[in-house]
Amino acid sequence: MTGKPVPVPTPETQPFWDGCAAGELRIQRCADCGRPYFYPRPVCPACGSRNVEWFTASGRATLYSYVINHRPAPGFEDEAPYAIAVVELAEGPRMMTNITGLPATPEALELDMPLQVRFEPRGDVSLPVFGPAR
């Protein structure tokens, strides 16, 4: 049995994973044009500036879209069906995640519902997932 995939940080993503380990959702924004963005990279995708900085996001998000997967990926056999979601952070950027603390049903998962980040151990990193806003 294969375990769940464990992300391997690269130098430009390490601060994100360090944040997760500390229980914080740290993402980047452009110090010139002010736009927050995700996934981590050393250049602003909006204006091309290399003058970018890390900050701690609120962890608040809304449910943007999802599927409920019935054919589990390796390591997810015990969880199917499970939701693979994309959430929109309060700061704007979107990220893929899993939804925790709610049944994986269309009735329980309403688009635009408020969510809050949580962190789950995965191998040697902490993985951000989202559950109902407290």
d(CA 96, CA 84): 7
47 touches another protein by CB under 8 A: no
68 touches another protein by CB under 8 A: yes
Q: Is-contact 42 50, C-beta < 8 A?
A: yes
- Applying CB under 8 A, among 28, 36, 52, 82 the residue interacting with another protein is 82
- Applying CB under 8 A, among 21, 22, 111, 133 the residue interacting with another protein is 111
The amino acid that residue 20 corresponds to is: C
- Applying CB under 8 A, among 2, 42, 53, 71 the residue interacting with another protein is 71
The structure tokens listed for 126 are 């902490």
- Applying CB under 8 A, among 15, 49, 122, 131 the residue interacting with another protein is 122
Mark residue 76 as left, alpha or beta (left: phi above 0; alpha: psi -120 to 50; beta: remaining): alpha
97 touches another protein by CB under 8 A: yes
Nearest to 14 by CA among 52, 40, 45: 40
**Count of residues in the chain:** 134
Q: How far is the CB of 80 from another protein (least distance, A)?
A: 9
Which residues contribute to the site for another protein (CB under 8 A)?
4-10, 13, 39, 64-76, 79, 81-82, 84-86, 94-98, 106, 111-112, 122, 127
